[in-house]
Amino acid sequence: MEKSRGRLQKATTQNCRDKAVLIQEIPIICTRVFAARPHSSVDQETNLCLGGQDIFASVKENSPTGEFIANLSIIGDPGANSIRLCLTGDNADWFFLEDKTIRLNSSFSRALDRELTAVNTVAFTVQANDADEDIIMYVIDQTWPDSRYFRIDLPNSGKEMNTREKNSATATITVNVLDGDDQYPQFQPCIPLSHNQTNPVCMNPLYIVNITEKDQDKILYFSPGPIYAEDGDRGLKTELVYNILSGADNGRFRIDNETGEIVLTRPVEDRLLNPNYRLRIMASQKDDPKKYSVATALVRVLAENRFPPQFNRTTYTGFITEDSGPAALVTTYGNAVLMVQATDPDFTDGVNPNIQYTLRPKSNNTRLYHITQEGLLIAKTNELRAFEKHFLEVLAVDSESGETAKASIDIEVLQRGRKGNIT
């Protein structure tokens, strides 16, 4: 008996997350078996392994065993006992042959999932033959667009072979594994619970917005962004539907089922009774409502803001004495502590607890001072020099409304034992 080989096919696995496919290539060896005849040679016989070609097929992840992949187009018929087909390569066990048909070989404990192929996975081993038995070097053609997903561990990662077999040829079968519907919607932006950038585990964000008692018939703009979710199966991008599970307060809040946009339909009667509204928002797949995710939206009701904060003067004057100590309070006339405070007419007593104070970098002298949230100014006295004059600017910000007020502070550095003049 003699053997004639042909149609050697290679194998590859590719994990390209931005292309949403996993590619596996499987080598197929076709071996023809025939009896030797007088005055006949292998080259004179018809090679029944010919006629094949590269095949590109697609299969969904989590497909059942026996799923059809592709048909081979070789001349011979394995059922006639003239040729024999077999699958080889690292990924051959994912498939099996049924005559000239390739089928998926999966199981309950081993499902085909494109997200499971990790970076640095060995995709395939390439082998080349050289009749002169020279050393073979392997490189990836960088002009191909997908070459950036692979690397070859230099100097060579294939195996040198010495073969004298005749009638051999090469073809490639490429199997694209499409994304299956096995992930749930994810609200955006993703708040990762781990540092795994390839497959991050996300926590749904808390959406927050402020309204006032007078607001009504207005679209709510939340932070850290609009209420929006994406299908966890990036390759499918299934359409989602939004609903308010709880907190709508008899239609006070209405959601657009397609966009997730929320509208306040009527004003809040008493913010003291209802200072906050907590809405539970569900995003579910339109074609499979059992796949859903839930996030929380917090609506805070604030008092109507009619007036911005304001300082009772445009410029404050203060004094500080040079000292070897690390810090001291800036004082004003009569050695009284300097208080830089803004009032808010929206409050009965003028005190807005949401006002925050900061020093703006008006000059390099700003680094020598620190202002507390009570309006006290602290100086780094061991870095001051007598007779210097420092000019600062203080900013008061209403953290709820975002409104601001500013004032100037002029500070004179005194010698030890000298007090500020009373004017």
246-297: pLDDT as tens digits? 999 999 999 999 999 999 999 998 888 999 999 999 999 998 899 999 999 9
| Range name among 1-15, 93-107, 171-185, 376-390 with the lowest pLDDT average | 1-15
**Residue 410's closest CA among 342, 319, 341?**
319
Average pLDDT over residues 68-83: 74
- Report the pLDDT averaged over residues 60-70: 82
pLDDT at 257: 96
When pLDDT is cut at 50, 70 and 90, the band that residue 328 belongs to is: very high
Measured at the alpha carbon of residue 113, what is the angle toward residues 108 and 115, in degrees to the nearest 5? Answer: 145
Structure token pair of residue 223: 């932070």
Domain range 310-414, CATH class: mainly beta
List C-alpha distances in Å: 360 to 51, 355, 367, 369, 420.
Answer: 79, 15, 10, 11, 25
Q: Report which of 271, 276, 274, 278 is spatially closest to residue 305, judged by C-alpha positions.
A: 271
Q: Tell me: the pLDDT tens digits for 390-423? A: 999 999 999 877 889 999 999 999 987 666 554 4
For residue 97, the surrounding DSSP H or E stretch is strand 95-98
Phi and psi torsions of 409, nearest 5°? -130, 120
Give yes or no for residue 347 having a pLDDT over 80.
yes
> What tokens were used for 392?
């600062």
Q: Is the pTM of this model over 0.75?
A: no
Both tokens assigned to 365: 């002298």
- Which of the 8 DSSP states describes residue 339? B
- 28 confidence band (pLDDT: 50, 70, 90): low
pLDDT given at position 44:
40
> What is the per-residue pLDDT across 8-22, written as a single tens digit (0 to 9) for each?
333 333 333 333 344
User: Given CA atoms 290, 293, 296, 297 in this order, what sign does their dihedral have?
Assistant: negative
CA distances in angstroms from 73 to 7, 96, 309, 338, listed in the order given: 11, 16, 82, 92
Are 186-302 and 310-414 equal in CATH topology?
yes
CA atoms of 35 and 289, how far apart (whole Å): 63
Domains of the chain by residue range: 2-178, 186-302, 310-414
Between 240 and 65, the higher pLDDT residue: 240
pLDDT of residue 411: 93
Judge: domain 186-302, CATH 2.60.120.260.
no
Compute the average pLDDT of residues 112-118.
Answer: 57
Residue 42 pLDDT greater than 80, yes or no: no
Residue 38 banded pLDDT, cuts 50, 70, 90: very low
Check residue 12 and give its pLDDT. 36
Judge contact between 52 and 30, C-beta under 8 A: yes
Q: How many residues can be counted in the chain? A: 423
pLDDT at 213: 85
384: enclosing H helix or E strand? none
Of 308, 309, 316, 332, which Cα lies nearest the Cα of 392? 316
Q: What is the pLDDT of residues 166-215, one digit of tens each?
A: 333 344 445 566 666 778 899 999 888 777 666 667 889 999 999 988 89
pLDDT on residue 176 = 65
410 vs 420: CA distance, rounded Å: 13
What kind and span of H or E run contains 417? none
- Looking at residue 262, its amino acid is I
Q: What is the pLDDT of residue 92?
A: 80
Over pLDDT 90: what percentage of the chain? 36
Partners of 407 in the β-ladder: 394
Q: What is the pLDDT of residue 409?
A: 94
Q: What residues have CB less than 8 Å from 55, skipping those under 6 apart?
A: 70, 72, 171, 173, 174
Whole-angstrom distance, CA of residue 421 vs CA of residue 423? 6
